[in-house]
């Protein structure tokens, strides 16, 4: 839906509003039957996904290669294994997640018991992205299944091989009556967005995020928006520059060649340290990808011609073309752009205004490393913020003053692999979080259940109102045990 790609071919005619409505109604009927609620159903679907990954790993890798020329190591590490470990983690924890949480009830309502019950939301829609087409589709689907929902997945048409792979193989492994794949682009997505869903989970850009949320508003549907943003990397001068350069390089070019929502977008470092860092990054790039990176098989290519044009136009901006200190080569036929470093690009250049989402890495310099915090906070809130330092004080200040979806100190992107950390944005980088139990929660409604019996009554809350009753109500609300004792005796009885 990005940049106007052609819609992928649909089987069995056009998927319009009518067909979307039919499908939604069918799925709602099945959801109402209660089929998706049982632990057994949820576990069977997750096990089906694990089996699919084990049996179809080669096909998945081939689809990722076709869509993005993603190196097998990356495909395995970032997509296949992450999805599989999310599945096995959910399978292990599922029973525990589903259990109602007992909470203490207060003296005011004594005697009573209270608990929070997680219930599925209903029929949910997941719209995923092209850059990690396997991971970003199945990762939310796992949460939706674990929470007991019926699910429609709309993979991105910009990664057509992976999209059609889902449509082809998912039905063989999971319950196709409650988990469906709809392929397509803008018309199909529009048809889907017209329907009433119980939750919409969208991964992509802010422009489409706004459209999704406005469509959801018509039906009062809650949404999760997983967007991106310009994720900064602050580099202090007191670090092990060799290790830092490797971690930055693998986090930038080793993650789908910079086409990742949590990839480093730009670096901020001190004027004096910049040459050292540039030097180290250059050497690291050569070690990783050889003298001529265009020969390397370890770099994903740019996803398509539209994105290639967008990225080259960032480089051709006259404000920045003279600032390239490494790389800059391109080959339109192979959709290749070399890992590129730019030093001291102006703040008002296009490359510093828009999310780069590609292999270009500008470096901004400041006098003192602390100055970078104000610079970051003057921009919209990013999905991730990174800092390399050995200075604990600086780290503390960074954590407490910079706002971002998540942050990682002294490394890049790894925080995403921890199932115990919520993953999601804030401000322009979106809202709502997922991964691990946070995914289960994102697709659950937390129903409050309060139970009382017919012993013990605070008659004082009922009219006719007397001064005595009002005094007792005051004490009850303040948690007075003596007041509660009187209330239990049904005192005062007047009226």
Partner 1 sequence: MELEGVLAELRGSFESGRTRSLSWRQSQLRALSDILHKEEEGIFRVLKADLGKHQAEAYLHEVGSSIKSLNHAIKNVKRWMAPTKAVVPMVAFPTSAEVLPEPLGVVLIFSCWNFPIGLSLEPLIGAISAGNAVVLKPSELAPASSNFLANNISKYLDNKAIKVIEGGPDVGEQLLEHKWDKIFFTGSPRVGRIVMTAAAKHLTPVVLELGGKCPAIFDSLSSSRDRKMAVERVVGGKWGPCSGQTCIAIDYLLVEEKFAPILVDLLKETIRRFFVRPDYISRIINRQNFERLSNLLKDPSVAASIVHGGSLDSEKLSIEPTILIDPPLDAEIMTEEIFGPLLPIITLKKIEESIEFIRARPKPLVIYGFTNDEKLKRRIIAETSSGAVVFNDAIIQYLLETIPFGGVGQSGFGQYHGKFSFDIFSHGKAVAGRTFLIEFSFRYPPWNERKLQLMRSIYHFDYIGFLLCFLGFK
226 is an active site residue: yes
Q: Is 2 exposed, middle or buried (0-12, 13-18, 19+ CB in 10 A)?
A: buried
Is 93 a binder of partner 1 (CB under 8 A)?
no
Least CB distance to partner 1 at residue 73 (A): 4
Select 42 or 469, whichever has its Cβ closest to partner 1. 469
Is 427 a binder of partner 1 (CB under 8 A)?
yes
Upper half-sphere CA count for residue 5 (Cβ side, 13 Å): 18
Upper half-sphere CA count for residue 246 (Cβ side, 13 Å): 6
Please select the residue that binds partner 1; options are 17, 91, 108, 282, rule is CB under 8 A: 108
Please select the residue that binds partner 1; options are 201, 423, 434, 443, rule is CB under 8 A: 423
Mapped onto helix, strand or coil, the DSSP state of residue 142 is helix
CB 296 within 8 A of CB 290: yes
Q: Site size for partner 1, by CB under 8 A? A: 108
Distance CA 338, CA 126 (A): 33
Select 114 or 161, whichever has its Cβ closest to partner 1. 114
Is 168 a binder of partner 1 (CB under 8 A)?
no
CB 125 within 8 A of CB 212: no
What would the x/- binding string for partner 1 be over residues 109 to 148, using CB under 8 A?
x--x-xxxx-x-xx--------------------------
Is 105 a binder of partner 1 (CB under 8 A)?
yes
Among positions 287-326, residues that touch partner 1 (CB under 8 A) are: 288-290, 296, 298
**Active-site residue among 5, 226, 355, 428?**
226
Distance CA 402, CA 479 (A): 40
Three state DSSP letters for 267-294: EEEECCCHHHHHHHHHHHHHHHHCCCHH
User: In terms of DSSP bridges, do strands 223-226 and 444-452 run parallel, antiparallel, or are they unpaired?
Assistant: unpaired
Please select the residue that binds partner 1; options are 465, 481, 489, 494, rule is CB under 8 A: 465
Q: Is the dihedral angle over the CA atoms 404, 203, 143, 256 positive or is it negative?
A: negative
What would the x/- binding string for partner 1 be over residues 195 to 224, using CB under 8 A?
---x-------x--xxx-xx-xxx-x-x--
Is 92 a binder of partner 1 (CB under 8 A)?
no
Among positions 223-242, residues that touch partner 1 (CB under 8 A) are: 225, 227, 239-240
User: In terms of DSSP bridges, do strands 336-337 and 360-366 run parallel, antiparallel, or are they unpaired?
Assistant: unpaired
Upper half-sphere CA count for residue 176 (Cβ side, 13 Å): 10
Binding region for partner 1 (CB under 8 A) out of 17-25, 267-275, 308-316, 471-479:
471-479
Q: Is 180 left (phi over 0), alpha (psi -120 to 50) or beta?
A: beta
Distance CA 70, CA 261 (A): 16
Least CB distance to partner 1 at residue 461 (A): 6
Is 243 a binder of partner 1 (CB under 8 A)?
yes
Binding region for partner 1 (CB under 8 A) out of 79-87, 181-189, 305-313, 357-365:
79-87
Select 8 or 285, whichever has its Cβ closest to partner 1. 285
Least CB distance to partner 1 at residue 316 (A): 28
Is 494 a binder of partner 1 (CB under 8 A)?
no
User: In terms of DSSP bridges, do strands 336-337 and 430-431 run parallel, antiparallel, or are they unpaired?
Assistant: unpaired
List, in sequence order, every residue forming a beta bridge with 343; answer none if it has no partner: 363
Select 207 or 353, whichever has its Cβ closest to partner 1. 207
Is 470 a binder of partner 1 (CB under 8 A)?
yes
Among positions 438-457, residues that touch partner 1 (CB under 8 A) are: 445-454, 457
Q: What are phi and psi of 235, to 5 degrees?
A: -120, 115
Please select the residue that binds partner 1; options are 35, 350, 395, 397, rule is CB under 8 A: 395
Please select the residue that binds partner 1; options are 140, 258, 359, 406, rule is CB under 8 A: 406
Q: What are the residue ranges of helices labelled H in 344-458? A: 371-377, 392-401, 436-442
Is 437 a binder of partner 1 (CB under 8 A)?
no
Active centre residues (catalytic): 226, 261
């Amino acid at each position: 839906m990005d940049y106007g790609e052609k819609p992928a071919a649909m089987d069995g005619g056009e998927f319009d509003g009518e067909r979307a409505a039919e499908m939604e109604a069918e799925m709602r009927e099945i959801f109402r039957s209660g089929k998706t609620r049982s632990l057994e159903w949820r576990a069977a679907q997750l096990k089906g996904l694990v089996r699919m990954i084990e049996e179809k790993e080669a096909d998945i890798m081939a689809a990722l290669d076709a869509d993005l020329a993603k190196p097998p190591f990356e495909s395995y590490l970032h997509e296949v294994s992450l999805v599989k470990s999310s599945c096995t983690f959910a399978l292990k924890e599922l029973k525990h997640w589903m259990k109602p949480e007992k909470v203490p009830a207060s003296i005011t309502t004594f005697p009573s018991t209270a608990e929070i019950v997680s219930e599925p939301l209903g029929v949910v829609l997941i719209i995923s992205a092209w850059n990690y087409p396997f991971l970003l589709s199945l990762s939310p689907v796992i949460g939706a299944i674990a929470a007991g929902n019926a699910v429609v997945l709309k993979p991105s048409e910009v990664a057509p091989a992976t999209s059609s792979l889902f449509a082809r193989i998912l039905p063989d492994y999971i319950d196709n009556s409650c988990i469906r794949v709809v392929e397509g682009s803008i018309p199909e997505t529009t048809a889907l967005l017209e329907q009433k869903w119980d939750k919409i989970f969208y991964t992509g850009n802010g422009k489409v995020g706004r459209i999704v949320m406005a469509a959801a508003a018509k039906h009062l549907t809650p949404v999760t928006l997983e967007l991106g943003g310009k994720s900064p990397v602050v580099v202090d001068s007191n670090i092990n520059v060799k290790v830092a350069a490797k971690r930055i390089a693998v986090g930038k070019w080793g993650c789908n060649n910079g086409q990742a929502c949590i990839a480093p977008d730009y670096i901020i470092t001190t004027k004096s340290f910049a040459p050292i860092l540039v030097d180290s990054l250059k050497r690291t790039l050569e070690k990783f990808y050889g003298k001529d990176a265009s020969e390397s098989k370890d770099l994903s290519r740019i996803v398509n011609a539209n994105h290639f044009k967008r990225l080259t136009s960032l480089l051709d901006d006259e404000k920045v073309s003279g600032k390239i200190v490494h790389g800059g080569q391109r080959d339109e036929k192979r959709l290749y752009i070399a890992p590129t470093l730019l030093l001291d690009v102006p703040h008002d250049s296009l490359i510093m205004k828009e999310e780069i989402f590609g292999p270009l890495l500008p470096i901004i310099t400041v006098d003192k490393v602390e100055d970078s915090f104000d610079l970051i906070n003057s921009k919209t809130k990013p999905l991730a913020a990174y800092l390399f330092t050995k200075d604990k004080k600086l780290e503390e200040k960074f954590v407490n003053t910079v706002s971002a979806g998540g942050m990682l100190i002294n490394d890049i992107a790894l925080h995403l692999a921890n199932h115990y950390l919520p993953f999601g944005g804030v401000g322009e980088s979106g809202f709502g979080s997922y991964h691990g139990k946070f995914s289960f929660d994102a697709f659950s409604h937390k129903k409050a259940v309060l139970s009382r019996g017919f012993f013990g009554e605070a008659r004082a809350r009922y009219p006719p109102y007397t001064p005595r009753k009002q005094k007792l109500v005051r004490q009850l609300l303040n948690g007075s045990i003596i007041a509660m004792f009187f209330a239990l005796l049904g005192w005062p009885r007047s009226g």
